[in-house]
Amino acid sequence: MEKPHSRNGSYNAKHFINRELSLLQFQRRVLAQAADPKVPLLERLRFLCIVSSNLDEFFEIRVSGIREQVRLGNNAGSTDGIPPAELLALISAEVHHILSEQYALLNDDILPALAREGIVFLRRGQWDEAQSTWIHEFFLREAMPVLTPIGLDPAHPFPRVFNKSLNFAVELEGRDAFGRVSTTAIVQAPRVLPRIIRLPDRPGQAPYTFVFLSSMLHAHVGELFDGMHVHGCYQFRVTRNSDLFVDEEEVKDLRAQLKGELQQRHYGDAVRLEVADNCSEEMADFLLQYFQLNRSELYAPSGIVNLVRMMQVPDWVDRPDLKYPPFHPGLPKALAQRRDIFSALREKDVLLHHPFQSFTPVIELLRAGADDPQVVAIKMTVYRTGTDSVLMEHLVRAAQKGKEVTVVLELLARFDEEANISWANRLEEAGAHVVYGVFGYKVHAKLLMFVRRETDGLRRYVHLGTGNYHPRTTRFYTDFGLMTANEEIGKDVAEVFKQITGLGRASTLTHLWQAPFSLQPNVVAAIKNETEIARAGRRGRIIAKINALLEPETITALYEASSAGVEIDLIVRGPCALRPGVPGLSENIRVRSLVGRFLEHHRIMFFHADGQDKVYLSSADWMERNFFRRIETAFPVLNPQLKRRVIKEGLRGHLLDNSHAWEMQSDGRYRHKTPRRTARSAQSALLAELAAGG
């Protein structure tokens, strides 16, 4: 198979927005959800925690990569022209601003509002006598036996600190039992200890009363150092480089090498130090020096150093009035009325729109395939599926029944590597063929194919999706899935599987666009086709909904289309390097981002094409990695009725949304849309139309 290369060109830096700074703008949009009083209170807390979780990954992957460029002396910027060292300074300043706003929102708004609803997080100074007694007993019974205080001296070096773990730096005075004088100790909080503890119910106490483990340890840390005087105790947290490195030239067994790399992920180079805002300057400097970080990489929020630990609180609190109302995902009529899913697909294609419509038909399709004696082969790509997946259990059962099961399992799915390795072992033990794609290219396409023996011969049934085969995330991510028995699409899918598992040159596909071969060229060609149509005096129209827009050649093609008069609407959830609304360059391009109850995740392309209205769904964002370093697919929606559904449900409603939409300005910042008269929410409308009880 020929190895494709991305195209390198010279681009005007002022026409591009930096990826990392654009990604931080997305965190501001998520933070705005936490600040919105119209959002249910416990959901606001969840959004606040999501910001922290997103920033963790941002530092683990994005910032660590930029620091590595600086270390290697690379002064060249990307298409935006910002050198790596300057970019780190800009990131630090922006993250410090975001954290300041985030913790002000937590301390001044959300925590007081929760307290008024009987959901209280008690600090040490707020404990009454009974609470103090219970907390002390809990500390002695549950915490103290598993804590290992380490006084720093020549015989006790600084302990290895796990990535994102909770630790305490303790300032001490005095001599210990051996006459040693040590002024500093480290206490690591084992992961077996809960970070938030709910106090038992009692009269006069708020219904939901919690204390943080950090508060408990602060209160009783002195008991770990008998006879010593504790001057200060400061929680700290280190974020490390978590990107895995696998040498393409040296690796012989990807799974074996990856297992070794995973052991080291917890101890990569430090990229961020978080300390409590009461941390002394001396201790902060000591920690920075040890972790080889500078002052700009120090973050001292006014509260607990890890808000992610509060993510589960909404699930612990039984207050439906403070959460989004529940709903029941709908079912397409074609499936609700037919018991045999294969016969239903022989009659017509089925489009699923998650989470408004259920993911159950996909699970049912795989269950039926595993049990149906007429199904002789099943092939599936797996990127993320989770540690407990009914889909994977069906694959295991199918293999145990003697069916030809082939699973293309992406071992390098970031932060899901361990789960995927575990499933690889289970599948192979059951007799399935497990392959890890093509080394150097992540398999990100979402493909599921069944080969079934029928009276007229073998027939293929396929499911193609924009999102992962992960039943849990399908409840929170918006995605489309197409189920079809179309012969030509089935043949294309079979060809993609053959390319991934075997050897040979890439062949021309009838309907699918495939990265790293034809996807980016076809996207650019479709944009240029609209450009030529507009130059001929006819209507040119492009609408695209993606999660990220960064690939420079595609952006340049969009600029040229805009200059020719093509009307372009881009719905980009996350980072966007294109500058909209620049006179003479992009005045016909509008960019908006939607942030609401569900994570906008589907990728949709619409090209007017002189009235043909071509619609494609895809697993790929418009990024260099997706176009050139991943195996991705884009597939057409051929059924006219389903095509109209995609346009209505996935594009038109999002362009009319004035409740959760943000409009991008040419400087890269966003302005929140607010309804003048009638409020419109794309997600709310879809819940009302496709789901029940929303």
Residues labelled catalytic: 444
Residues contacting residue 327 through CB under 8 Å, at least 6 positions apart = 687, 691, 692, 693, 694
Do 194 and 166 form a contact (C-beta atoms < 8 A)?
no
CA-nearest of 240, 148, 161, 238 to 187 is 148
Place of tokens 């805009």: 562
Q: How many CB atoms lie within 10 A of CB 292?
A: 9
Burial class (CB in 10 A: 0-12, 13-18, 19+), 343: exposed
CA-nearest of 365, 647, 339 to 484 is 365
Amino acid at 133: T
Amino acid at 65: G
Residues contacting residue 81 through CB under 8 Å, at least 6 positions apart = 13, 14, 16
At 73, which helix (H) or strand (E)?
none
CA 212 to CA 198: how far, in whole Å?
9
Sign of the dihedral through C-alpha 496, 643, 544, 571 = negative
Q: What share of the chain is helix, strand, coil (3-state, %, to 5)?
A: 40, 25, 35
Between strands 150-151 and 167-173, the pairing is unpaired
Amino acid at 288: L
Residue 464, token pair as written in the block: 């193609």
CA 463 to CA 486: how far, in whole Å?
11
Residue 657, token pair as written in the block: 């949304």
Number of separate helices (H) and strands (E) present in the chain = 22, 27
Q: Which residues pair with 482 in a beta bridge?
A: 351, 464
473-496 burial, b at 16+ Cβ within 10 Å, e below that, comes to bbeebbbbbbbbbbeebbebbbbb
Q: Which residues pair with 345 in a beta bridge?
A: none
In 72-156, where does DSSP find H-type helix? 84-105, 111-116, 129-138
Do 587 and 579 form a contact (C-beta atoms < 8 A)?
no
Vertex 80 angle, CA 74 and 86, to 5°: 50
Residue 248, token pair as written in the block: 């393409």
Give the total residue count for the chain.
694
Do 129 and 59 form a contact (C-beta atoms < 8 A)?
no
